[in-house]
Amino acid sequence: MSKALIAGNWKMNGDRPFASELARAIAASGDLGCEFLLCPPYTSLETVAAALEGSSVALGAQDCHAETSGAFTGDISVEMLRESGCSHVIVGHSERRSGHHETDAIVQAKATAAQTGGLTAVICVGESLAQRESGAALEVVESQVVQSLPEGAETLNTVIAYEPIWAIGSGKIPTLEEISAVHRHIAGVLDREVGDGAGTAIRILYGGSVNAENAKEILACEGVGGALVGGASLKADSFLAIGQSCP
Ligand code: PGA
């Protein structure tokens, strides 16, 4: 079993001095027994890359385009992210799926581009509150995983992040049993779709209102291979405390 991955999704927050200071504080923490990944806004990627130099903290972006270059105003390619020092990219975050109308097919194309370009794709999936309440959570998440997963998905180029939409930024989280049930289900889907053992080998992160207080019990849940953290990743002390909570 690999170390837990604690990923910080900074979303559209912070200027470069903020990014540099936060990244330096994470890089200075030494080995806490987990792996850290920081995903700042595009404009801070190179600043954070410089701050992380010589450390084992990885750098990722929050999105990419599926094409390698061309007439795509406002978009960023995988190669551009690599050039900025990224090893990872988040794709299919619910804020992209809802705010930018990204379908599973688009997410899959982006994950495929990431994989082809040598980046690890952090593929986000998760149900809405209505879907959870109607008992469809497992079905929705399964369908998103199956349709968003690129063909050549394997341990090194793929991470799945289970993020119930209603838990993001809300302070609400599913019960620990519910988290385990979804993670077990995703692992089964990966075993079936990718190959036997993939469900254990490919990391499955939990995301949605993870903080320094609840991280320990969430990270101890069966099948949880780390966390994708939004709000609590914007302060070094809370993000490091989450790292320290890894079993
Ligand atoms: P949150 O965000 O930790 O602020 O809930 C998580 C995410 O959107 O990745």
Give catalytic status of residue 93 as yes or no: yes
Q: Is the pLDDT of residue 1 over 80?
A: no
Question: How many angstroms separate the CA atoms of 205 and 140, rounded?
Answer: 17
Residue 107's pLDDT is what? 98
Q: How far is the CA of 217 from the centre of ligand 1 (A)?
A: 17
3-state helix, strand, coil in the chain (%, to 5): 45, 15, 40
Give catalytic status of residue 88 as yes or no: no
Relative to the CA of 170, which ligand 1 atom is closest? 5
Mean pLDDT of the 10-25 span = 98
Which of 163, 179, 205, 214 is the pocket-test mutation for ligand 1 (most atoms within 8 Å of CB)? Answer: 163
- For the chain, what is the largest distance between any 2 Cα atoms, rounded to a whole number of angstroms? 48
Q: Which entry of 93, 95, 127, 142 is annotated as an active-site residue?
A: 93
**Which residue, judged by its Cα, is nearest atom 1 of ligand 1?**
230
Report how far apart, in Å, the C-alpha atoms of 91 and of each of 1, 121, 122, 123, 222 are.
Answer: 24, 7, 6, 5, 24
Report CA torsion sign: 19, 22, 26, 29. positive
pLDDT digits (tens, 9 = 90+) for 147-178: 999 998 888 899 999 999 999 999 999 999 99
Q: Is 222 helix (H, G, I), strand (E, B) or coil?
A: coil
Residue 30's pLDDT is what? 83
> pTM for the complete prediction?
0.97
Q: Assess whether the C-beta atom of 231 lies below 6 angstroms from ligand 1.
A: yes
48 closest CA partner among 91, 4, 86: 86
pLDDT digits (tens, 9 = 90+) for 4-16: 999 999 999 999 9
Cβ contact 62:84 at 8 Å: no
Q: Which entry of 35, 95, 102, 163 is annotated as an active-site residue?
A: 163
Q: How far is the CA of 225 from the centre of ligand 1 (A)?
A: 16
